Amino acid sequence: MSIDLAVPSGDAPQHPLLTDRAALSAAWRHMIPLLWRSLRAHSLFIGLIVVYVAAELYLPALLGIATPFKPAFGYEFFASMSGLILAVPVCLYVFYVMIVTRPPRLLAHLAGDLRRFVSFERLAIGLPVFLLFPFFGSAFSYFRIYIPSFRPFGWDRTLAEWDRLLHGGVYPWEWLQPVLGHPYVTTIFNGFYHLWFAAMFGVVLWQMGSLKRPRLRMQFFLTFVLLWALLGNVVATLMSSAGPVYYGRVTGLPDPFTPLMSYLHAANEVAPVWALNVQDMLWDSYRENGLAIVGGMTAMPSMHIATCTSFALVAFGRSRKLGYLFAAFAVIVQLGSVHLGWHYAIDGYVGAIGTVLIWLAVGWLLRRQAVTRLLWGTNPDCEPLPHRHPAPAAA
């Protein structure tokens, strides 16, 4: 929806300052009801974020953690990553217009496309997520980093043994090594594993500005918040573990993953294995008890797989082909997480199953008539309720 602010051809031109004020006033009058509807539609999402951040403000003191939580810690990271992720499709589209469409007035054409895409509705629906999501990311990272401080790593031996028993008495990395154990193949899987960051921000931004399927969109965001809180904090605390790459260092036992790590370091001499540098960085941060937005060492469950599962679920709600694409990405990330020493295979299984259960529970909640009326004032299909006219009087 757009507002035509052009001066009629028969009228005398107004002073520029008055025109600007009129435009701002009209835009503001149009934006207020849209923002109100957006806040109402996001009320559950906002409530979850507020409760979660409040818990992060008070739990550290109860647990004896002295380092203060900084709520705005993740804004710079979120803004920079969002800008980077948005820049890629924008540049590709500009190149497409320049090469394929080739309009006579390029800038005017691009400006028109921008006005059609960046509507008042899209801005209003995305604003609550854009403003609150960095606070949530900061709170999660803060709590995750300090998990070992009050729940030392104690599950690695058990998880490694479960992994071995579940896979026929052989560690999963040993099953994968004949297929993936080639330097250039390892580099490719490492690239896909790191692509997870871009995929996560891309899907969040996609759903942030999506005007279609409001219930599916809200199901994604509620699931996304809950999986990070319940799986990434609660389960990660209860089953505190560091992962195969750190097995020997946190258990003091003979390390069955030494051959895997030796291979990865040897492969890094042929083709880059970026995971090794990140693993060293996380270990140094853990030893120094440092606060970093991407810090924290928790293996169970795999949040890479949990989030990738949520990507596939929301994608299937929009397109079967897109759903299969994200499902394939989740499988590749799962294989990479084991091959690169990040996770026990069971970490990924728990992450995927837990996400599906949360997705189903949130979907059930959003299908309740009372909830849909609270959020959207609509029927269960999130379509506008028909206006009820009084029955005509009998003749």
Cα torsion for 15, 19, 25, 29, to the nearest 10°?
Answer: 140
CB 252 within 8 A of CB 239: no
**Pick from 256, 53, 77, 259: which is nearest to 160 by CA?**
256
Please report whether residue 13 resides in a domain: no
Q: Torsion-angle region of residue 88: left (phi > 0), alpha (psi -120 to 50) or beta?
A: alpha
Residue 122 is predicted with a pLDDT of 86
d(CA 286, CA 150): 13
Three-state SS string across 5-69, please?
CCCCCCCCCCCHHHHHHHHHHHHHHHHHHHHHHHHHHCHHHHHHHHHHHHHHHHHHHHCCCCCCC
**Pick from 231, 234, 255: which is nearest to 243 by CA?**
255
**Pick from 135, 3, 155: which is nearest to 69 by CA?**
135
What residues make up the domain containing 127?
A: 31-376
Percent of the chain whose predicted confidence (pLDDT) is above 90: 49
Please report whether residue 4 resides in a domain: no
Peptide bond into 301 cis (omega under 30): yes
Residue segments in the chain with a per-residue pLDDT below the cut of 70 = 1-28, 60, 63, 65-86, 289-295, 378-395
Cβ–Cβ contacts within 10 Å for residue 86, how many? 13
Please report whether residue 384 resides in a domain: no
d(CA 74, CA 131): 11
Q: Which amino acid is at 244?
A: P
Burial classification of residue 278, based on how many CB atoms lie within 10 Å of its CB (0-12 exposed, 13-18 middle, 19 or more buried): middle
d(CA 199, CA 84): 12
Please report whether residue 16 resides in a domain: no
Structure confidence by residue, pLDDT tens digits, 157-186: 999 999 999 999 999 999 999 999 999 999
Please report whether residue 236 resides in a domain: yes
Please report whether residue 221 resides in a domain: yes
Which residue is listed with tokens 């309009």?
Answer: 103
Residue 6 is predicted with a pLDDT of 35
d(CA 384, CA 290): 50
Structurally, how many domains does the chain consist of?
1
Cβ–Cβ contacts within 10 Å for residue 357, how many? 14
Residue 384 is predicted with a pLDDT of 43
CB 150 within 8 A of CB 64: yes
Residue 388 is predicted with a pLDDT of 39
Please report whether residue 272 resides in a domain: yes
Please report whether residue 109 resides in a domain: yes
Residue 295 is predicted with a pLDDT of 61
